[in-house]
A and B are shown apart, each in its own frame.
Chain A
Amino acid sequence: SQTIHQWPATLVQPVGSPLSLECTVEGTSNPNLYWYRQAAGRGLQLLFYSVGIGQISSEVPQNLSASRPQDRQFILSSKKLLLSDSGFYLCAWSQNDRDNQPQHFGDGTRLSIL
């Protein structure tokens, strides 16, 4: 069966520091991959999605970037964190070989910026 892993689970970083959050999927190949941010008391905002290695679509202008160096690896990065980057970050995957496939989420990373 397919599984998705995110790490770290919790991260506290100072303003201006770099960021790297990692997400990997097991048990499938060529998945669609997604990064979402969930701010306190709000819904989920899609940040990036990828349909293949090196293919990244950005949904909102921001201080963050994403990369997909391997088929089942999706990384969220920042060179300099802002206070507004605090939130709960969720990675998700869906099957790429059929239509109308639901997205499956990881357990998330809680990012606090000091």
Chain B
Amino acid sequence: AQSVTQPDIHITVSEGASLELRCNYSYGATPYLFWYVQSPGQGLQLLLKYFSGDTLVQGIKGFEAEFKRSQSSFNLRKPSVHWSDAAEYFCAVALSYNTDKLIFGTGTRLQVFP
């Protein structure tokens, strides 16, 4: 069955430090991949998406993610974290035969210390 794994439940970084949030998927064909961010008590905001082409995708708020087929990964990165980046981050995959259905990971909560 298709699945998304975010192995880190909680990550703490200092402001200005670099960040990498891990995401692994299980799916036989080429997936469509997304990263969303959720601030406390709010809905989800799309950070970036990958459908095809260049495996390094740029998103909003200075985030980027790299699709690595050999590792079944789509890790999210940011070179320098700001305190306002503290939130929960969700990786999601849409299946190529039905892009209407998203499968979400369980999320990674990011805490940023000044």
Chain A residues in the interface with B (C-beta under 8 A): 6, 32, 41-44, 46, 49, 51, 59, 90, 92, 94, 99-108, 110
Contacts and interface: CB of A to CB of B under 8 A. Distances in A.
By secondary structure, the B interface counts as: strand
B42 A108 contact: yes
B69 interface: no
Contact of A51 (B45, B51, B100): B100
A102 B100 contact: no
A99 B96 CA distance: 10
Q: Which 9 A-B pairs have the closest CB atoms?
A: A105-B43, A105-B44, A43-B106, A43-B104, A44-B104, A107-B43, A100-B51, A108-B43, A106-B43
A32 B43 contact: no
Nearest to A50: B100
Taking each of B36, B46, B51, B100, which has the highest tally of chain A beta carbons within 10 Å of its own beta carbon?
B100
Interface residues of B, number: 21
A93 to B, nearest CB: 11
Contacts, number: 47
A43 B100 contact: no
Interface of B: 32, 34, 36, 41-46, 49, 51, 90, 94, 99-102, 104-107
A102 to B, nearest CB: 5
Contact of B46 (A90, A102, A108): A102
Nearest to B48: A102
A20 to B, nearest CB: 19
Contact of B107 (A43, A90, A104, A106): A43
Contact of B102 (A41, A51, A103): A103
B49 A102 contact: yes
B27 to A, nearest CB: 15
B90 A44 contact: yes
Given A43-B90, A43-B107, A44-B90, A94 B42 contact: no
Contacts of A49: 100-101
12 contacts: A32-B100, A43-B104, A43-B107, A44-B102, A44-B104, A46-B101, A100-B94, A100-B99, A101-B99, A102-B34, A103-B46, A105-B43
